[in-house]
Structure 1
């Protein structure tokens, strides 16, 4: 007997059709970081990896901090699309881009303070700090394009236009990788080349994607909207958007705090430990962005069903997308466990660094199994624009991390990564327990 027509768009096949473009393109996101680390890793000093790694941490903070430009735009766009409110869909795109420009202008002005804060909060050697400051001072000029790209990507996901999002990420990330190889390997520009590659790639991606959206404006029904300040800046719309933004910013600060504690602890232990922890976090990026494909599909579909008030179908989406994420996490863990040496050999040629990372590899292998639920529940709650629960869940996870911190006293990298495992598990468990909230008071 064929499935009911109302469930065809919540089927495993439909979820997969939305997920695979995101998964494929997302793999290129940490690949950029991996190439950055690999370029420095093949030089003769671990300080290059540490400097670029800490510089990347600063930009991860910025991009995570402004992640509301994507997550908020995705959730609100998906709901407006489900309601058939196309003028609001267009307004959301313009709001996101305008807010990105305002925020990036402030960041460029304040970037010397960012460098000072990073140098004082992350206790690294003078050589590492010097490379970090140089990297930040160049890459900061990618911020306007990067934040606009984040907002645009969120809008495309909310429109269930995952393949266009894939094109955007491929343009940016493959350009970045190619320019990295050119600037560092061929032109021997070192840290300057790594940072400059990021700047040029972000601007190229933004210009090309805005042109593509303009060409498809009738498909997205952008021409049905009359641009006006009232439509863009109505109080209820801005208040809702900024409330979500506030909660997601707080959540992001907590995420960054965990990673900063991990890298800060490793930096105090020594440059070799810092480089090893940075490699672990780069691999964690591969894991997160790979599993996030199903989470992004859930964002778009959950938001759409909420707009349509179809709660029965929303339950199918949550269950099926989470099950697909679980199967993928098992596969990822197996690949990591059995392919340790090839993976490490791609990231560094330093024997001491390979040996140090091998000693903590078991933690890397189990990360997919303990983190998939956190990523998936994030997607569900983003689609529902329920930022308060995401904020509260992250607070619960941070408390779990701190408790593990005191329990194990962070005596070595093993203890630090054990606390990290506790933190990832707590994120998923809390949000899964709060799922009933999405089906009440709606």
Structure 2
């Protein structure tokens, strides 16, 4: 067993992965603060336009996760040029999909922002203006996802940290300058986004060029990447629908319920980034182990990341419970919202240990190329657990406790599914979907 398959190896990969995962949300917080000082309408426009762009990026995130699994298998087998070639093909795919997203938003920016804003008006108009400019960076954003994927696969996570931080720093500097002194307002925020994405994508492309890889598109490799992408895309789409349904139920329960749900959900997403760092480490380590033909090492990696995920989840849950009265006032001073949030807080904290194990084992199965099973378990858990309880919470008057019981059941069902799979041997022989 290599040193990287043990605990220190997990942390060595998880720590830089966490920086990359957290960079974009932290920048968005600063962007929101800058735009928020312009007034309610620009802030609403940013929420609408930014939400649509974030939704597209989340659906196409398989460019990172799928590429990591394939590149790790190649690298583990001692075929670094093959691993780099996966990055080249993923970059071509990112360009095609990125221009598709760009075209979609240029044509439908108006109708989409009006739909999300609840009809025509100044917020929808502001969102449309922001989205038309910011979507110019869609191909660049997807290129960065592909770059993250192949570099994780060859166990080089420090370079993605530098690349992502460089782009984020440029955006951080430009955003307030373009919004205020330059007088561009909300448009300045969109331009700053594109500028940062341009720098990050250029750094990832330069890394590929320095590998002296062949740049010819290979249809067979692109098809194989789309197989993994299809499963991860379906999985992401069902997740997005489930969370939208939950938000709709919370909104119908009242303004206080919606506010409390939004606070808890954003914390859930942020904490998921922390725990997902173990999934990225697991992907890389498992892919390398199976690429070398060492299934025992892959199983040992699964045990290590489960312990780290569980331990971190328990720690996060304890921090949430101890600091509840400190954290909640940072988000709201409305007594009604605080009261609802205190109820949800128990669900949020209680699910963290389970989520830590689930996310870690998600990474194990992705690294093994077992994404078809992962897709089925996730969709099944949403359809059986999350969606029914969320939908029943409205007519039965369960409110937020019903919605968050659904989310907890969703996590628990996924946990049962991935534990059963990893306890067996089929994931160790799952098709790697690696081809030229």
The reply to whether TM is greater than 0.5 is yes
Change in Cα spacing, 1:441 to 1:171, as seen in structure 2 (3 Å) is closer
1:269 offset after TM fit, Å?
A: 5.9
Change in Cα spacing, 1:51 to 1:362, as seen in structure 2 (3 Å) is farther
Pairing partner for 1:96 from 79, 90, 98: 90
* Alignment correspondent of 2:371: 387
C-alpha distance in 1, partners of 2:44/2:406?
22
* Alignment correspondent of 2:403: 416
Alignment length, in residue pairs? 425
* Alignment correspondent of 1:243: 227
CA contact (8 A) 1:104 1:143 kept: yes
Change in Cα spacing, 1:180 to 1:270, as seen in structure 2 (3 Å) is farther
Structure 2 matches for 1:15-34, cutoff 5 A?
15-34=10-29
Pairing partner for 1:258 from 242, 248, 259: 242
* Alignment correspondent of 1:133: 128
* Alignment correspondent of 1:431: 418
Q: Which moved more, 1:357-366 or 1:298-307?
A: 357-366
Pairing partner for 2:350 from 348, 363, 366: 366
1:326 offset after TM fit, Å?
A: 1.2
Q: Which moved more, 1:67-76 or 1:26-35?
A: 26-35
Structure 2 matches for 1:34-433, cutoff 5 A?
34-39=29-34, 45=40, 51-111=45-105, 112-113=107-108, 115-117=110-112, 119-120=114-115, 123=118, 126=121, 128-183=123-178, 191-212=186-207, 214=209, 217=210, 222-223=211-212, 225=213, 227=214, 229=216, 232-233=217-218, 235=220, 237-266=221-250, 276-340=260-324, 343=327, 357=341, 360-399=344-383, 400-409=385-394, 411=397, 412-433=399-420
Change in Cα spacing, 1:181 to 1:415, as seen in structure 2 (3 Å) is farther
1:363 offset after TM fit, Å?
A: 3.6
1:121 offset after TM fit, Å?
A: 6.3
Q: Which moved more, 1:271-280 or 1:393-402?
A: 271-280
Q: Which moved more, 1:71-80 or 1:341-350?
A: 341-350
CA contact (8 A) 1:50 1:271 kept: no
Change in Cα spacing, 1:343 to 1:114, as seen in structure 2 (3 Å) is farther
1:404 offset after TM fit, Å?
A: 1.1
CA contact (8 A) 2:368 2:428 kept: no
Structure with bigger RCO (C-alpha 8 Å, 6+ apart) = 1
* Alignment correspondent of 2:434: none
3-state DSSP of counterpart to 1:160: coil
C-alpha distance in 1, partners of 2:162/2:252?
40
C-alpha distance in 1, partners of 2:382/2:77?
36
1:427 offset after TM fit, Å?
A: 2.5
Change in Cα spacing, 1:317 to 1:67, as seen in structure 2 (3 Å) is same
1:219-273 per-residue CA deviation (whole Å, 9 max, x = no partner) reads: xxx33x5x274xx4153x3332221111111111111112222334455567776
C-alpha distance in 1, partners of 2:228/2:55?
18
CA contact (8 A) 1:122 1:264 kept: no
Q: Which moved more, 1:260-269 or 1:313-322?
A: 260-269
User: 5+ unaligned residues in a row in structure 1: which ranges?
Assistant: 1-5
3-state DSSP of counterpart to 1:161: coil
C-alpha distance in 2, partners of 1:320/1:388?
24
Change in Cα spacing, 1:43 to 1:234, as seen in structure 2 (3 Å) is closer
CA contact (8 A) 1:23 1:290 kept: yes
1:299-338 per-residue CA deviation (whole Å, 9 max, x = no partner) reads: 0011111111101111110010111111111222222333
C-alpha distance in 1, partners of 2:261/2:180?
24
C-alpha distance in 1, partners of 2:258/2:185?
19
CA contact (8 A) 1:75 1:382 kept: yes
C-alpha distance in 2, partners of 1:332/1:298?
20
1:120 offset after TM fit, Å?
A: 3.2
C-alpha distance in 1, partners of 2:292/2:264?
42
